[in-house]
């Protein structure tokens, strides 16, 4: 079958982790056998496809949204499917199983700082291998897969492609879709084994500075915690050398950086938000990703994509859940006028 060209395609298909986040605001993260007080609790979206698709829906994305993955046949699973219906997300590739519960995460968020600690149940996400996903039956332009390292079946070895995730991404590209990936920030040595094989079949690689550093071996933070912009550029170059076809985007609290296949660099500072504005940082990375993917889908200039990413991330920070702080695209972009970007990150400025 002849692959459809991306110009004839429209929409974003998000596959991977579908999670219900139970966000608990606490006064302090306790030592073992000590007590912390929970001041409030809320439920929200979790996982790369769920967060990104929900953000795009809230932004008013003018293109179709669809999800792929696995939830349990339980209350959380029903909740996710109902939420997708409300948000206008097509669920024909999002199945339910009786073999595992819907994945959930207890997110302990310290009220004063917004710092989060996660207690995660992998659940049905660990079983999803993507075999039920027929890319010839979707007209989507972009397939966004995440999170690598948190999808047990897809993280497994594949004798032809390196990993099952790499094989799935290759199938998407063969069908004519652009591919995008994200990974989870874990403290392990699995990045080279799991993430690197997938990069040969990725058009847009969107990671945070921790994940980019773990994948490439570069230390992107200096000893005093400051961003090392030289190492950041080296890491982006190394990711392209691993096979990323078009674009590497690395995001971090200070902003975002992008390098194209032809070597063009773009920088964008994050917004200068007052501390009292920030209710929690859960979902900020996926919000940034949603903003960038919105622009890439619409063929915007790269600098505009990055600005949209930091604005949507800023909107996300206003709420303790991953996506409920995000409103319309105009509302997100208005934050740049209200709070202004921080000082330029580009070392050449």
Domain spans, the chain: 48-70+130-339
| CA angle, residues 244, 246, 251, in degrees to nearest 5 | 75
Predicted pLDDT at 114? 76
**Tokens 């003018």 correspond to what residue?**
62
Predicted pLDDT at 5? 47
Could you count the other beta carbons within 10 Å of the beta carbon of residue 130?
23
Q: What is the pLDDT of residues 6-49, one digit of tens each?
A: 568 999 999 999 999 998 999 999 999 999 999 999 899 999 99
**What CATH number has the domain spanning 48-70+130-339?**
3.40.1190.20
Segments in the chain below pLDDT 70: 1-7, 349
First-to-last CA distance in the chain? 49
The residues near 126 (Cβ < 8 Å, ≥ 6 apart) are 100, 103, 151, 152, 153
Could you count the other beta carbons within 10 Å of the beta carbon of residue 168?
26
- How far, CA to CA in Å, does 206 sit from each of 21, 130, 190? 22, 21, 18
Beta bridge pairs of residue 96: 71
| CA angle, residues 83, 202, 17, in degrees to nearest 5 | 25
Do residues 196 and 215 touch, judged by C-beta distance below 8 A? Answer: yes
Report residue 192 as tokens. 């080279």
Query: Which one, of 58, 35, 13, lies nearest residue 321 by Cα?
Result: 58
The residues near 248 (Cβ < 8 Å, ≥ 6 apart) are 205, 207, 212, 236, 239, 240, 258, 259
Predicted pLDDT at 143? 98
Q: What is the pLDDT of residues 294-310, one digit of tens each?
A: 999 999 999 999 999 99
Helix H or strand E encompassing 274: none
Query: What are residue 204's phi and psi, to 5 degrees?
Result: -125, 115
């Amino acid at each position: 079958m002849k692959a459809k060209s991306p110009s004839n395609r429209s929409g974003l298909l998000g596959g991977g982790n579908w999670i219900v986040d139970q966000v608990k605001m606490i006064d302090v993260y306790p030592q073992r056998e000590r007590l912390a007080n929970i001041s409030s609790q809320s439920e929200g979206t979790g996982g790369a496809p769920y967060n990104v698709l929900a953000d795009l829906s809230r932004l008013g994305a003018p293109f179709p949204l669809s999800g792929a993955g696995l939830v349990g046949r339980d209350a959380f699973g029903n909740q996710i499917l109902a939420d997708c219906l409300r948000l206008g997300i097509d669920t024909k590739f999002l199945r339910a199983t009786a073999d595992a519960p819907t994945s959930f995460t207890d997110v302990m968020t310290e009220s004063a700082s917004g710092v989060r600690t996660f207690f995660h149940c992998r659940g049905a996400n660990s079983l999803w291998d993507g075999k039920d996903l027929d890319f010839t039956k979707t007209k989507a332009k972009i397939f966004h897969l995440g999170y690598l390292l948190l999808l047990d079946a897809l993280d497994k070895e594949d004798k032809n492609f390196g990993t099952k995730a790499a094989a799935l991404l290759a199938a998407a590209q063969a069908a004519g879709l652009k591919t995008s990936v994200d990974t989870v920030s874990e403290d392990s040595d699995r990045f080279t084994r799991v993430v690197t094989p997938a990069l040969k079949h990725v058009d847009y690689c969107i990671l945070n500075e921790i994940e980019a550093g773990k994948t490439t071996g570069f230390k992107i933070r200096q000893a005093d915690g400051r961003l090392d912009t030289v190492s950041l550029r080296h890491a982006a170059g190394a990711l392209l050398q691993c096979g990323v076809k078009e674009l590497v985007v690395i995001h971090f609290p200070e902003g975002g950086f992008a390098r194209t296949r032809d070597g063009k660099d773009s920088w964008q500072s994050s917004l200068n938000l007052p501390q009292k504005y920030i209710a929690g940082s859960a979902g900020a990375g996926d919000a940034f990703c949603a903003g960038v993917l919105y622009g890439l889908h619409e063929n915007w200039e790269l600098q505009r994509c990055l600005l949209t990413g930091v604005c949507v991330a800023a909107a996300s920070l206003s709420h303790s859940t991953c996506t409920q702080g995000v409103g319309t695209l105009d509302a997100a972009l208005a934050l740049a006028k209200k709070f202004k970007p921080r000082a330029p990150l580009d070392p050449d400025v």
